[in-house]
Structure formats: C-alpha cells, structure tokens
Chain A
Amino acid sequence: MIIPADALADLRAALSAERVADDPHILDSYAAQPFHKVEPGVWVHRPIAVAMPENTEEVIELVKICNKYKLRYKAISTGWGAQGGAGFDNVVQVDLRHMDRILEIDVENRTIVVEPYVTCAQIQAELMPLGLNLHIHGAGSNCSPLASATSHMGMGFSSISMGYAPRNIMGVEWVLPTGDLLQVGSIGSGAGWISPDGPGPSLRGILRGWAGADGGFGIFTKCALKLYPWAGPSEVNVTGTGMDHLDVEIPENNSFHLCVFKDMESYGRALYDLAHAEIGYIQAKVAPGLALAISQFDRFKLTRDNENLRKMVGGFSHQFFICLQGNSTEHFDYQVHVLESIVEKNGGSMLDISQVMGTPPGAMWWMLVRNSLAPAMFRPTGNFYSTLGGDESIASALRQDIEGEKLKEGFIAEGACEDDFGDNAHTLLYENGLFAHTEELLLFDHRNREQGEKLKDLSDTVMREIPEKLLGGGGFSFFAGGYAHDYLGPQMDNYHLWQRRIKTAFDPDDLSDSKYFINSEGAELAEH
C-alpha cells in the first residue's frame, strides 16, 4: 500500500521534504519489530510513510493531515517492540526522534519537562550532579521516560522508592487523535508543570489507564516528571563496557545486597516486612537462571547442563537484589540494620554476589541504578516474552509467580522457549508499600520458526488462565490487542465498554493506530 500523493505532498509541505520518507527501505526499517510480537517472525506492517516532526505544532499539523485523508498514524520514539510499529496497512509512522530536548529542570520542586526522544540515561546523567534521579522503567535507560509515563506500563527496579511511571507525571502536552491540543494538569491552566490533576483538566486515567494506549490514543509531545533524591556522587566512576567487564566502586552510603530465602513463604514474608519497613532505593527479584544467562552466559550454560549445579542454583530462587541509599551515614546504617533484621527474622541469608555469580557487586549496583540491564534480556537467545504478571498485592503477585512457573515449565517441555531453570518471575515492590509487580519472562529465539509458532498462542493461553485460576490483572495479555479486552472485559467490570466509548469519543474515525490498544468498532474476539 502506498500513501496517496496528495497526502504525501501535504505532509512534506507541513514538515519539509527531508523529514518525510516513502522509500521502501526506510519504511521497512520501521517494520522490523520482533519484540513482543504476537505473530512469529520479524515484520509488522510496513508504514506508508515516515514523518519526523520537530515540534508540537508540526505534530498537530501532521495529525490533522492524517485526519483529512483518513490515514492511520502511529507515533514511536525510542520504542522497541511491535507495539511501536504499524498495526495496519495504511499507517503513517510518526518518528519523534527530532523532539529530543530537556526543556526544564526545576531542582527546587524536583520536576523535569522533556520531549519524547530524551532517554532515561541522558536524563540521569544530567540529574546526578544536581543531587536528583528519576524513575527508570523496565525497558531500560535506553528508552524514553515520556513514552513509559504516558503510553506503556511503568514498573522498574527503582519502583520501590520512585513508584510507577504514570504516577510520576506532573503534566502532559497531548495532541489528541483529532489533532487538537490538550494540556493535562496545571499546565493546562497556565500554572506551570506543578500538578497532574489541576488546576486544569485531570485526565491521567483517561489518557493511559494501567497498561497505556501504546500509541493508540494520540501523540504526547511534552511531559513533566517527578524527580527523586540522589545521595551519590555527581558522576559515578565506571570503567569497562560489557556486562562482564564493568568496574565500579559503590559510593559511600550506598550498598548492594543479594538476599536469599529458603522458600516462597519466607520470601513472601520478607517482602511484606521490607514494605512495612519502608527502606530500599532499588529492589527486584531477578531469578538466578536469568541473572546468570544475561550476565555470565558461559556460567549459565555450564549450570544448565549440569544436574547438580541446577539443583544448587535452584536454591537461590527465592531472592531479591536490593540497593540501599542513605542521605547520611546514620540513615544508611539504619537501613542496613533493618535489612539484616528482616533477612535474619525470615531465616534468609545475605550473599556476596561476586562469589555466587562472579559479577562484582559494584557492577551489579550500577547496572541496576542506571538500569542498563534491560537489553541484556536479548543476549541468551535473541528475544524474550513477558507474560502472566501484573500489579497486585504481594500475596497475589506471588501466587501469579507460582502459576507462571507452571505455565512456563510447560512451554520449556515443549521446546517453545529456552530452559532457564523455569523460575523466572521478575518481582518487585512499589513505593515502599504492599503492592508488587510481577511477570514471567520466557527466553526464546524468534529466528527459530518452531519456537515462534509454539509461542504464538501464548497471550491467548495466558488470557484464559487468568479467570480460570482467579488471578488478578490482565497477565499482559493486553499486548494481544482489542480482542483481549473483549475477552477480559466481561470478567473485569466491563471496563472494555467504557474504554471503547472513550476511544470513540476522542478518536471517532479510529485513526490513532489501535492495534495494541482498543479499537472503536468492537470485538474481533470471534476470530480468536
């Protein structure tokens, strides 16, 4: 499918010829999106054009042109994943790469205003000399915090102290699906980027909800984010680059710990104690098989193929990594003492990771603080899928972990994914509270056609498991798109009906590509 000549001419007139492409090679570079793709293979739909606006005014013009010609459009910034690509045949891909400015850092009020193509690593590097930090979402510091906060999920290693990405929003500039501009929060009433909920329109729930619209609900052009304290040096002294070769000295009043428990029960109790104690800067469970696979691949293979080593590593299943940071020595010592007490009380151990995995603690500490770990998920097999998870109470999250493991064991037995010892639940706490995030990660190679075929029904399988086993949340089956909402909605207060009405009201022609959101027309469920 090609873009109508008049539409192409209008886009080029609005943006400039250099920033609008219809060359098939350039288009195809936006169509290769193998991550989190429901169907096997690399390619999603090829967009009919790629347009690169430089500012909000150009985004507005572009969206109005798409509305004029009834063309779908899909914005992408740093995104990796099928949800960033075109979901249909007649989509204009809006690449926001030119919009890459940090517009404002308000040190006193701890806020930052950014455009879509600024990455978390860039921001963190600028913030640390100011004694500030930001929440880095799970996709990693190579990604846009605006994209996460406005459009996709939002958990991360720093969630224990810095929350869920959308909860850090302090205001959003939003080009609606029709091309109208809406400023959400206090910025909408000219009061600056100080509050997401007014004075001015408060539409945080509408604009993204829990999972985010994944580019299916207009284009977000600016976003203010809440910042957090950083009680470390202006610049962390790091040498080396590769996962196995980083050399970092953990700064004063900072530490990294690996806490291991003997079973799920004691691990769960420790998580509750940790939440009640309100300590911790960064925290997550990264299952031992996965941790080995992404950081020490040779050791992983050695362990995988040796029954005794497997059993030994299996003993580390119930664990979490935690980084502590104190604003003073006293504050830091207090946290260390509390953590030691929690581990002791629950019969756990605090282990030296350099002896367990061979990874220096400083390297692991920095990889967690910077969140440079996320792309490493592709290292062992080339791809991974996240499934059966959600944001629930700690107890419910752990129940999902158990079910997730069973589900995954089945896939491993079928050869649908890599044998990474089965246990791969990635679990972390939110905001020093009793809420937890969990997801089951499956390592596979999308170049392996057999694995791709076997995993193509994964989302549907998960979707069925949730009501059958009375699990909470959507288990990430939302990635499957509209029909998943139609399946899950009736079991979850008919949310899908409301969501569809909202989509229709804001986007009457369904032009903001809703493949990974909800379409305005209705269910495709029968097909599935």
Chain B
Amino acid sequence: MPLALEDFRRDMEGCSRCSSCKWIPLSQIRSKRFSQVCPSISKFKFHAYSGSGKLNTGLSIIDGRSEFDEAAADIFYKCTMCGGCDVGCKVYRNDIDLTDTFAEARARAVELGHAPIELLMLVENMNAENNVFGEPKDARADWEAETGVELLDANAEQVDILLHVGCRLAYDTALRPEIAAAARILQKTGLKVGTSKTAESCCGFRAYESGFKSELAKFSDDMVNRVKSCGAKMVAVACSDCFGAFNYVYPKNGRALPVPVRHIAEIADEMAGGAGRETAKTAAAVSIRPADAGRGGETRTRKVTYHDPCNLGRKGQDFTGQYEGNKLDRPDEMRRAGQGGRYDEPRRLIESIPGVELVEMERIREYSWCCGAGGGCYESQEEFSLETAKERIEEAIATGADTLVTSCPWCVNNFNLAIEAMETGAIEVVGISQFIEEAFS
C-alpha cells in the first residue's frame, strides 16, 4: 500500500532533537574538522535543514501549523537524500526513518506543484529520451563503439549477465574508460555479457528520489521486461544509484527484478576470491594485463583513499521488507541503518593491488560524507552540490592520498567538478573499474 506523509507521523513526532542526525556517530568522531555528516545543515545552518528539522517541518505541516508551500518544499529539496542522518539517528533509535519520511514529503511537494523546475525538466527528459540528460536515446550505446568494447545484444540473444549501463556512464564521455573497464571485467568472467543497447532506459531512481514516485512504474516495468526477455541470470551495474534503485527501491515498491543485482565491485571482488584471497589472484582474475606488466620490477607506491557512495554503502543494503508494527519493536535487520552496505568489496580490491596503500578518510562506510550529487541536488541545487563535493575532496586530500577511488559515476563526476573549481592538482578521482584496470597497466 502506498505510503503518505501522514503515515510517518510517529517518526516525525518521535524526534527528540538530540541532533545525532547532524554528526557522524559520536563513537567515531576523530576530529572537529570532519565530525559532521549532514551536508544540508552544514551548509544552511538553520535547524530546519537538519534531519531532525525536516521531521519537525513535516510535523508542522500535518499538524496544520504551517502550509506545504514553496518554502517548505525548499527545505526538503535542499538535501542530497544521502541517509547520513538516518545512520546517526539509528545508532540510538529503532523507530524513526528519516529519508523515507523526506521521500514522502517530496512526493507531497510534487503533488502540490512545488518541485524545483530543474527536476521537472529532468522527468521530462526521462520521459522523452529515457535518460536524465535529455540526450538522444539513440546515442545511449555510443560508448561501445567509442571504446571498442563489444558486448552481446541482449535484445537479440540470450545472455548470462545483463549489464545495465545507466545514464551517467552511457552519456558522459569523460567516463568512457570507467564503463569500458567495467565491461571488460565482466567479460573476464567467461560468461555471456550483454546490454540492452539503445533500448536501455534510465532506472528511474532520480525521478523517484525527487518525489516523482509515479514515474517509477514505467521504468521498472521496462527493466523487468528486458531482464526477463534476455534470460539474464544476473544484472550487473557500475553505478551505485542504479544499484540502489534495483536492490532497494524496486522491491520496496513491489517491483523487484527477477534476478540478483550485483555491483561491479562485488563481482570483481568475487572473481578475485572475496575475503581472504591472495593479492596475486586479484591481478590474475580482474586485470587485463598481468600484475607485473610494465612495471620493470619496480614497486610504485600509490596512496589511495576510497569514497563510499551512499547507494552502495549505507543505503545499499537489500530491502528486507516493510515493518508494519510499532517500530520501537522493529528487529535490527529491518532497519536501514547502513549495516548491509558494500563496504569491504571495493576496499579488498584496492588493498590487494601491489604498490597501492589504502588510506582511509575519517568519515567512511555508513558514516561517509556524501558527494553532493544525490537527491536531485546536482540538477537543482548546483552550488550546494558542489560545496558538498569540495568538502569531501578536502577530506580526501587530508589523508595524503594522491587518488580518490569510488564506485559511482555520479560521485566521480561531482568530485571532478569540485577539483576543477578548487583548482587543485593534489588528487585525482578514478572509478573503481578503471582503477583496477589501470593499476596493473
């Protein structure tokens, strides 16, 4: 049954204003500088912009104390929907779901016509061209020809793995090496790997997250049909937003894909033997060239830090069902508190590469700082989105790393924009697939 803002009354009333939503978990604070987790309150300062404040705002509206007008919508849209507040809160609370509440508030904003114009345009783009950018749908598979990667046509033949490319990786030419590397890693499995070529559509995540809930049906139906018709036994993604859509949003809305969904980092990690494997095995399994190729016997030390994308990390846990009772009694495994995120797989990959030292930032795993691109902020809150990314770059540079690796093309793009704006050459950003491949080159 579809939920509405009123269904989250207990969540909104339950906030005790302890402000745990503003900080990384207290037990993990290692410095004042990097102690905050919420980009929204960090930027806009008034309490209304915190996780707690948004709950207060929602309650004020359903209590009839204030109208759901554009000012209210502005509070809900100046948020990357990263879920950092949820993790901070759920260290202590079983019974409050912040981002789920915000999602319903955004849906109400859409109903009332208060969504930002940029997000309306995004939905128009999706409906017209099947992608968030409004680029021609016929150009969706151009990356294959441009990179020389040849994958099977899943529209025409049966495949084992359907690679869902996603809008950012399909159209962003700067990310060609990332999607090409991901595809080549999949081909190393020896299985039949295909894509839907120009028939592929957006996963629908951006629209859903922006409050256009009804848009999900079209995109999810299309995806389910394509998966079924190509006979894939697995859907592979290299984008964490697509991962979050397929693994959490679809099943939450009763539209689960009929096969497992795996991120490229998970697949590569498994190919390399998963936890407890030996370093050399990674090289043999996922690299295009052997580990010692081109090295001339020298060991080069590269300091790398890893950024956890929200939808692969804290929001990356599998959907475990909608709890119907009093959430004070909700079992731990049914809380979305970041416990099921894919944190170890990319780290194992990075650490197992010879000559690479993984140095961690202070805010990692479920209490990672967001890249700023999510929640429709990349499209509608440009300055906020960029500042959020800059904050992460500063944290990455503080580790002494020369490379920032991440597993989401949206994060890569936003970080690169931040680096450009900061005019710093201190660090470069690389997607996980490209990094694995290049590391052995």
Contacts and interface: CB of A to CB of B under 8 A. Distances in A.
Contact of A370 (B26, B61, B94): B26
A78 B47 CA distance: 10
A32 B15 contact: yes
Nearest to A82: B17
B59 A42 contact: yes
Contacts of B367: 241
Interface string B93-110: 111000000000000000
A192 to B, nearest CB: 23
Interface stretch (A55-63, A122-130, A209-217, A253-261): A122-130
A30 B50 CA distance: 11
B45 A33 contact: no
Given A29-B47, A370-B26, A382-B328, A123 B16 contact: no
Contact of B18 (A80, A97, A126, A380): A80
Interface in A379-425: 379-383
Interface stretch (B64-72, B276-284, B378-386): B64-72
Contacts of B91: 241-243, 372, 375
Given A142-B20, A382-B14, A30 B32 contact: no
The 7 closest A-B pairs by CB, nearest first: A372-B26, A29-B48, A28-B60, A122-B32, A29-B53, A375-B18, A32-B56
B23 A119 contact: yes
Nearest to A42: B13
Given A25-B60, A121-B23, A122-B35, A375 B13 contact: no
B155 interface: no
B32 A238 contact: no
Contacts of B366: 241
> Chain A CB within 10 Å — which of B15, B45, B92 has the most?
B92
A447 B23 contact: no
A56 B35 CA distance: 24
Given A123-B32, A124-B29, 11 more contacts: A28-B60, A28-B66, A29-B52, A141-B29, A241-B337, A242-B90, A242-B91, A374-B18, A382-B95, A445-B328, A447-B10
Contacts of B17: 32-35, 80-81
Contacts of A28: 48, 56-57, 59-60, 65-66
B26 A121 contact: yes
B355 to A, nearest CB: 26
Given A25-B48, A30-B47, A121-B26, A241 B16 contact: no
A187 interface: no
Contacts of B75: 25-26
A117 to B, nearest CB: 10
A294 B310 CA distance: 28
Contact of A380 (B20, B30, B328): B328
Given A25-B66, A447-B13, A52 B35 contact: no
Interface string A34-55: 1100000011001000101000
Most A CB contacts (10 A, CB to CB) among B26, B63, B65, B329 go to B26
Contact of A142 (B23, B66, B72, B332): B23
A25 B18 contact: no
Contact of B20 (A24, A52, A375): A375
Contacts of B28: 238, 241
A374 B20 CA distance: 11
A400 B45 CA distance: 42
A378 B35 contact: no
A102 B10 contact: no
B25 interface: yes
A119 B37 CA distance: 14
A242 B52 CA distance: 19
Given A102-B32, A241-B25, A379-B92, A26 B48 contact: yes
Contacts of B67: 24
Contact of B16 (A95, A238, A248, A382): A382
Contacts of B14: 382, 447
Contacts of B66: 24-25, 28
B31 interface: yes
Nearest to B329: A301
A422 B45 CA distance: 41
B25 A372 contact: yes
A31 B15 CA distance: 12
B87 interface: yes
A71 interface: no
B12 to A, nearest CB: 9
B19 interface: yes
B27 A246 contact: yes
A242 B17 CA distance: 18
A125 B60 contact: no
B57 A25 contact: yes
B45 A52 contact: yes
Contacts of A23: 71
B338 interface: yes
B47 A95 contact: yes
Contacts of B47: 26, 29-30, 95, 97
A5 to B, nearest CB: 18
- Greatest chain B CB density within 10 A among A24, A29, A298 is at A29
Nearest to A124: B29
Contacts of A220: none
Interface in B32-88: 32, 35, 45-48, 50, 52-53, 55-57, 59-61, 63, 65-67, 71-72, 75, 87
A378 B56 contact: no
A431 interface: no
A259 B61 CA distance: 50
Interface string A133-175: 0000000111000000000000000000000000000000000
A374 B366 CA distance: 21
Contact of A98 (B45, B93, B337): B45
A298 B27 CA distance: 22
Contacts of B18: 35, 80, 140, 142, 374-375, 378
A25 B71 contact: yes
A118 interface: yes
A370 B93 CA distance: 19
Interface in B237-284: none
Contacts of A118: 32
27 contacts: A24-B67, A25-B72, A28-B57, A32-B55, A35-B17, A35-B18, A42-B13, A78-B19, A119-B23, A121-B35, A122-B31, A122-B35, A125-B35, A140-B18, A141-B26, A242-B91, A242-B332, A243-B91, A367-B27, A372-B25, A375-B18, A375-B20, A378-B93, A382-B16, A382-B328, A383-B16, A447-B13
Contact of B338 (A126, A241, A383): A241
Contacts of A19: 45
Interface in A86-141: 95, 97-98, 102, 118-119, 121-126, 140-141
A443 to B, nearest CB: 11
A1 B32 CA distance: 38
Contacts of B46: 21, 26, 29, 50, 52, 95
Interface string A433-450: 000000000000111000
A123 B29 CA distance: 10
Contacts of A123: 32
Contacts of B35: 119, 121-122, 125
A246 B14 CA distance: 25
Contact of A297 (B15, B87, B94): B94
A493 interface: no
A97 B46 CA distance: 8
A181 interface: no
Interface in A176-207: none
